[in-house]
Chains A and B, each alone.
Chain A
Amino acid sequence: QQQVKQSPQSLIVQKGGISIINCAYENTAFDYFPWYQQFPGKGPALLIAIRPDVSEKKEGRFTISFNKSAKQFSLHIMDSQPGDSATYFCAASNYGQNFVFGPGTRLSVLP
């Protein structure tokens, strides 16, 4: 029940395209859903996050879509750039504790 599933495992997108990564969770007690971006040799860094009381949150080219009834959320990267090439992790937590992470998606944006 604590698991967070993430797909796809890897994604290749052309520059300017839209990258979409999907996650699903089981535990309805989760109330915070962040996305992390990780570059090689670095620690994950918070990219964008959402709470279940809203269905969408946008920050620049990054958008989270949240479907509470389906227990799913997704990250959309608009106008993808080569600099976006990284590994992306979705996560879920309950009141800021017990963060559970998805297995990650390796995104490659081709120039």
Chain B
Amino acid sequence: DAGITQSPRHKVTETGTPVTLRCHQTENHRYMYWYRQDPGHGLRLIHYSYGVKDTDKGEVSDGYSVSRSKTEDFLLTLESATSSQTSVYFCAISEGQGNEKLFFGSGTQLSVL
């Protein structure tokens, strides 16, 4: 999966607990994205980053925060998980700036009980 590692691959947690998902890339791509995938909705953008410490909100950012302290790592945090955040989360990377190819990780299945 194009040098993208997501961890954990599966997680079960309880409502109200904080959760952090990690995305690590070895491609040195500038852009990194977090998407969630739900049946009937396709892939929806949560947050993205266009450089170290440069992030912006996506379509469904409420309840999520992100951080990027190094080029290779992009963290997604659910401050207080809710059942509506049960989903499959995908990290993606792209070089950007005219090179639009978007590469995805293998995903994290998150269940909030």
Q: Does A64 contact B (CB under 8 A)?
A: no
Q: Using a Cβ–Cβ cut-off of 8 Å, how many residues does chain A contribute to the interface with B?
A: 26
User: Considering the complex of A and B, which 9 residue pairs feature the smallest CB-CB distances, nearest first?
Assistant: A43-B104, A96-B100, A101-B43, A101-B42, A103-B42, A32-B100, A96-B96, A44-B104, A104-B42
A42 — which chain B residues lie within 8 A by C-beta? Answer: 1, 106-107
CB within 8 A of A45: which of B94, B96, B98, B104? B104
- Whether A44 pairs with B101 at a CB distance below 8 angstroms is no
- Whether B45 pairs with A46 at a CB distance below 8 angstroms is no
Q: Does A69 contact B (CB under 8 A)?
A: no
CB within 8 A of A43: which of B96, B98, B100, B106? B106
- Whether A89 pairs with B43 at a CB distance below 8 angstroms is yes
A19 vs chain B, min Cβ distance (A): 18
Q: Using a Cβ–Cβ cut-off of 8 Å, how many residues does chain B contribute to the interface with A?
A: 30
Residue of A nearest to B96 (CB): A96
B26 vs chain A, min Cβ distance (A): 16
- Whether A99 pairs with B90 at a CB distance below 8 angstroms is no
Please classify the interface of chain A as helix (H, G, I), strand (E, B), loop, or mixed, using the class held by over half of its residues.
strand
Residue of B nearest to A104 (CB): B42
- Whether A34 pairs with B42 at a CB distance below 8 angstroms is no
Residue of B nearest to A96 (CB): B100
Chain B 98-113 interface 0/1 with A at a Cβ cutoff of 8 Å (1 = within): 1111111111000000
Separation of A9 and B107 alpha carbons in the complex (Å):
22
Separation of A44 and B45 alpha carbons in the complex (Å):
14
Separation of A100 and B35 alpha carbons in the complex (Å):
10
A6 — which chain B residues lie within 8 A by C-beta? Answer: 42
Q: Does A1 contact B (CB under 8 A)?
A: no
Separation of A101 and B92 alpha carbons in the complex (Å):
13
Separation of A101 and B43 alpha carbons in the complex (Å):
6
